[in-house]
Amino acid sequence: MSVIELEGVEQRFHARGTPDGYLTALKDATFTLHSDPPQIVSLVGQSGSGKSTIARNILGLQKPTAGLIKYDGKDIFKLSRAENDNYRRNVQPVFQDPYSIFNPFYRVDRVLWKAVKKFNLTRDRAKGLAMIEESLNAVSLDPANVLGRYPHQLSGGQRQRIMLARIHMLRPEFVIADEPVSMLDAQIRKTFLDILLDFRRDHGMTTLFITHDLSTVYYLGGDVMVINKGSIVERGAVTSVMHEPSHPYTRLLLDSIPPPDPDQRWTNRIEVDDSGDQTPATAPQEPVV
């Protein structure tokens, strides 16, 4: 079993005009992801709450100002070259924007072939092609319709699923998915989420799913952490947090979801207390007459 541990992670950025000369994006982030049993953990919060900062820290793209991020007990920023290569293979990202993932000058095949070569999956081209086609089929893509094409010739959903096909080939222990469905339509979004659930069930992959959308959190199930202004303010099973939230900010997020009834309308504004304890104003939802 492999484990990713965050211990008191803090991230500060220099910022002019602030009292201390810096902005704190992340405060004392402490949690654990484990690969056995595989899990889906959602990290939910509004834009600017620190979600993507956590993703960059875990992926090693940004070293935290304070605290530790450990993989199997070792600081990820002090791994040997071989250990770092192993970490890179076993902790794979899916980013938000399917339009900026690919170099527009190359066919999309290049992303898949580079994974084959970089991680030494095979040296036989026929076997490599078979692996690529198998992984494309696993994410509901027809190889004949996507291989050989340029990024602009594919939809955003197809591009995101190609990144999932890359993950399928590598079989990592952990997937760090940073707002991966925010730019996809509803049907493709469901397909994407179902693939993540399949990855957990069939290949034992643990996913940290970062989002602002509570509906996708509820669909995925598992556990959830709620982050506000850089601090994780609530955590627990999705069902318990969604139905019995204990923190005012979590209740605010839930109250911001419109009811699935066209006859129901918000009649008042929701007020946010910027001091940290955020509570919604009473917002009765009355039928429109």
For 40-79, b where at least 16 C-beta lie within 10 A, e where not — what string?
A: bbbbbbeeebbbbbbbbbbbbebebeebbbbbbeeebeeb
At position 26, the amino acid (one-letter code) is L
Spatial distance between the Cα atoms of 43 and 210, rounded to a whole number of angstroms: 5
Distance of CA 122 to the CA centre of its chain: 29
Distance of CA 137 to the CA centre of its chain: 23
117-170 per-position pLDDT tens digit: 999 999 999 999 999 999 999 999 999 999 999 999 999 889 999 999 999 999
pLDDT of residue 249: 87
Task: Note whether 64 and 11 are within 8 A (CB).
Answer: yes
Q: At what angle do helices 156-170 and 109-118 cross, to 10 degrees?
A: 20
Domain boundaries, the chain: 3-257
DSSP 232-277: EEEEEEHHHHHHS--SHHHHHHHHTSPPS-TTEEE-SPPP--TTS-
Residue 125, number of CB atoms within 10 A of its CB = 10
- For the domain made up of 3-257, the CATH class stated in words is alpha beta
Q: pLDDT grade, residue 18 (50/70/90)?
A: confident
211-255 per-position pLDDT tens digit: 998 889 999 999 999 999 999 999 999 999 999 989 988 888 887
Element (H, E) at 42: strand 40-44
76 secondary structure, DSSP code: G
Q: Quick check: helix, strand or coil at residue 198?
A: helix
196-208 per-position pLDDT tens digit: 999 999 999 999 9
